[in-house]
Every structure is written in structure tokens, then in C-alpha cells.
Amino acid sequence: MKKKRRLLLLPAPKTDSSKNILIWLATSFLAIAAFGLILQNSWPASPLDQVLRTTQRWPQFPPSHYLLAQVLTAHGQGELAHKELVLGERQQRFLQLFFLGRFFQLHQKAAKEQVNQKASLEAELVKLNQQLKISPFSWQLLLKKAVIEYRLYQDGSARQAADLALWLNPENSQVQEVNKLVGVEN
């Protein structure tokens, strides 16, 4: 016959539960803070941060500079975008010595188009301003001016032009759409 085994249960030591809660709270706070720091360093906040990190990781790679030029242009930083474009082109010319420059021509073309778009918009805005001197109450010209200024991140003057176009032709659907775009209240 087998003997039944008995478990020997000892009484648990008595402890102060308030100390356990404080230790638990301190440990959980430190764990959450460490997790937050890890997330902050590994998860970029915006596309600009992501592109900056890519450029830092691959500083000799022309597409990283072309992509940074495109993002800077989208954020209204035309001068910095032009500098990054020139830097990418310089690196691409160096790589052409090793017959590797052709691989990056599509990236270069896309970045050039986007960076040079600002210059063409500014030239078009100058022409529109000259036309507006001749016919200052043309709602069509004011509407074009509002759209171009909005694309050039000149929000205040874009709102003024859109507001004047709305005043001149309040029933037109195009005028109302552009006013919604630039943020003019009806």
C-alpha cells in the first residue's frame, strides 16, 4: 500500500501591503517610461523625421537626398530643398564615374520637377499680378491667384484673393470650392 503524501503548508509571512503597492507602482512607472522612450526613438513622428533619419543612415546615397528635397518642398522649405537636390546631384555625378549614376536618374527627375515647381508657380504669380493691375475685378484671375498663393504657402494673401473673388461672384461653385480650400468662411 502506498502512503498518501501530505503537503506541508507554511503560513505566509505578514507584510505591509502599502509597501507592496508603492513598489508595484514604481516598477510599473519605470516600465512604462522605458517603453515610451523605446517607442519615441524607433517611431518617427512625421514623414520629415523619417526622411531625415534615412538621410542620416545613408548620407552618400543620392535618392535619400532627392526624397528629402521632395519632402522639404512639400513643407514649404524651397531653399533647403534646392540645397539637398544639388547635394544629391553631386553625389550622383560621383557615382557615374563607377557607372552607377544611371540608376538614380528617375529619382533625380522627380525631385527636380517638384523643387522647380515653386519657381514656376512664382513666375506665374508675377504674371497674374500684372494682369490684375490691368483688370483688378476679374474673379477668374483672383481665383487663380488664390490657388497659386495657397500652393506657395502664402495663406493670408490666398484668403484675401479668394474672399475678393467670393465678393465679386458669390454664386459660382468654383469660387465656393476655392474658398473652402483656402479656409474663407462664407
Question: Could you tell me where the DSSP H helices lie in the chain?
Answer: 17-42, 47-57, 62-74, 78-96, 105-134, 139-151, 155-168, 173-182
| Overall pTM > 0.75 | no
Confidence at residue 62, expressed as pLDDT on a 0 to 100 scale: 78
> Which positions of the chain have pLDDT values less than 50?
none
Task: Label residue 76 left, alpha or beta by phi (over 0 means left) and psi (-120 to 50 means alpha).
Answer: left
Confidence at residue 150, expressed as pLDDT on a 0 to 100 scale: 86
What is the C-alpha to C-alpha distance for residues 27 and 40, in angstroms, rounded to an integer? 20
What is the amino acid identity at position 168? L
Q: 7 — phi, psi (to 5°)?
A: -85, 135
Percent of the chain surpassing pLDDT 90: 2
Confidence at residue 14, expressed as pLDDT on a 0 to 100 scale: 67
The angle at the Cα of 163, spanning 148 to 73, to the nearest 5 degrees, equals 25
What is the C-alpha to C-alpha distance for residues 15 and 113, in angstroms, rounded to an integer? 72
